[in-house]
Amino acid sequence: MSEVQTRTGNGKLVVPVLAGALVSVLLGVYGANHKGKSIVFEISGFENLARAKTWLALLAGVLALVQLVSALIMWGKIKGVNPPWIGGLHRWSGRIAFWTAVVVGVFCLYGIGFQTFDTRVWLHSLLGCLFFGVFVVKMLVLTKSGLKGWVLPVVGGIVFTVLVVVVVTSAGWYVTTQM
């Protein structure tokens, strides 16, 4: 591949990364400047906001694991398994995980805001904002052709890791200490 083609291939990442960074920064700025009153619309079936967020976050976490396994299968890392529906499973589990995370994200950002009173909540707040940014990067990268082979797995891996930490620092903490 010529140097121009290489630069062009890497240059295709600029817009997705900038867009994702913008999303993360905007969410962080909003969260830092908004003090929530822990009042959001009530989802029927949950006792309170914390439990609603916990169960929804756990759902997103489980779907993230589905994402990981389906991606490993799609990339041939799990031998002997390659059903024709694996791509559809990966796409839909990702979509539902993201949309679920959006609901939780609104609950967190509007209902509470960006918190820094201890390491756990600071990490959760930071990575929560980062998750939506890296997800935007992942989605925009999927629309690009001619990218190097490592791009999609690396971006997908970052999305997965960030989401898992977000879930562990919230739902994981709540389930192990408050329930």
Partner 1 sequence: MKIKSPIVTLLVGLVIAAVVAALSINAATSKHYSAPAGVVIR
* Site residues, partner 1 (CB under 8 A): 37, 39-42, 91, 94-95, 98-99, 102-103, 105-107, 110-111, 136, 138-140, 142-143
Amino acid at 79: K
Nearer to partner 1, 75 or 99 (CB): 99
Report the residue number, 98 or 171, with the smaller CB distance to partner 1: 98
Instruction: Kindly state the smallest distance separating residue 101's Cβ from partner 1, in Å.
Output: 9
Alpha-carbon distance values, 68 to 48, 76, 78, 120 (Å): 31, 12, 11, 24
Cβ at position 119, least distance to partner 1 in Å: 27
Q: Which two tokens stand for residue 35?
A: 């003090």
Task: Give the phi and the psi of residue 122 in degrees, each rounded to 5.
Answer: -65, -45
69: tokens are 């396994």
When the beta carbons of 108 and 171 are compared against partner 1, the nearer one is 108
Tokens of 54: 């916990």
For residue 84, the minimal CB distance to partner 1 (Å) is 18
